[in-house]
Amino acid sequence: MSEVRIAAEPRTEFGKGASRRVRRAGKVPAVLYGHGTEPRHLNLPGHELMLALKTPNVLIRLDGVDKDNLALPKSVQRDAIKGFLEHVDLLVVSKGEKVEVEIPVHLTGEVQAPGVLTQELVTVAVEAEATHIPEGVDFDVEGLEVGTTKTAADLKLPAGTVLVSDPETILLTVSAPRVSDEPETSEEAAEGEAEETAAE
């Protein structure tokens, strides 16, 4: 589990105007909460935060926060058009603490021809120790045949990680390829019309 150190500074100005000024300065407004503490309002460096958030469930060590400075991103708001970070909610965590998170499911291998693989579940909810959250879980589909269905219960999670999602949730299916009816060619259609005319 990766841990990234990011410098944090207290946020003293609030409101839309203040948030815009923070973003223009290359920083992102954030709120740190959890463990029964009062929510703390922070400004975080935008570039470093953006890089950190590329790792699912990244642990962020907040330099400049005196206590409870280890956190997980819980809610990330981005600009709908430009995609830049607008706001981040961070949850305080500690070593040994169990947390519930979503982790991505990666499929590997190839199903048996002519099967068509459909992945129904791209993330799965799990409970794991806060400092040992898996970055994802792999599932090997090599050789699966048409008609195969797998569920979340078939995932092999790392030791210490417990499935929270419904185990009966469909993970993937392997189906037969769709066969479309061959469209009638114009030549065949013309022949058919000629035969009907002759019959009259």
Looking at the structure, tell me whether residues 19 and 89 fall in a common domain: yes
**Rounded to an integer, what distance in angstroms lies between the CA atom of residue 177 and that of residue 181?**
13
| CA–CA gap between residue 28 and residue 50 (Å, rounded) | 10
162: helix, strand or coil: strand
Contact at 8 Å (CB) between 91 and 34? yes
Same domain, 90 and 111: no
Residue 80 counted as domain residue: yes
Task: Say whether pTM exceeds 0.75.
Answer: yes
Do 85 and 145 lie in one domain? The reply is: no
pLDDT beyond 80 at 188: no
Closest Cα to residue 161, out of 136, 191, 179, 183? 136
161 and 111 co-located in one domain: yes
CATH number of the structural domain spanning residue 111: 2.170.120.20
Alpha helices in the chain, H assignment, sequence order: 16-24, 46-52, 186-199
Same domain, 82 and 105: no
| Amino acid type, 198 | A
Read off the pLDDT band of 12 (50, 70, 90). Answer: confident
Residue 22 has pLDDT above 80, yes or no: yes
Does 190 map to a domain?
Answer: no
Query: Is 145:112 a contact under the CB 8 Å cutoff?
Result: yes
Alpha-carbon gap, residue 88 to 71, rounded angstroms? 11
Contact 91, 71 (CB under 8 A): yes
| DSSP 8-state code for residue 123 | E
Please report whether residue 195 resides in a domain: no
Instruction: Residue 38: give its domain's CATH number.
Output: 2.40.240.10
The predicted-structure confidence for 63-83, as pLDDT tens digits, reads as follows 999 888 999 999 999 988 888
| AA letter at 57 | N
Residue 147 or 12, more confident: 147
Q: Please state, in angstroms and rounded to a whole number, the distance separating the CA atoms of residues 21 and 27.
A: 9
Q: What is the pLDDT of residues 93-104, one digit of tens each?
A: 998 999 999 999
Banded pLDDT at 192 (limits 50, 70, 90): low
Q: Is the dihedral of CA 18, 20, 25, 28 positive or negative?
A: positive
Same domain, 70 and 111: no
pLDDT digits (tens, 9 = 90+) for 25-36: 999 999 999 988
pLDDT at residue 194 greater than cutoff 60 = no
80 shares a domain with 142: no
Average pLDDT, whole number, for the chain? 90
The answer on 170 and 103 residing in a single domain is yes
**What is the number of domains present in the chain?**
2
Domain range spanning residue 162? 99-175
* Distance between CA atoms of residues 190 and 185, nearest Å: 9
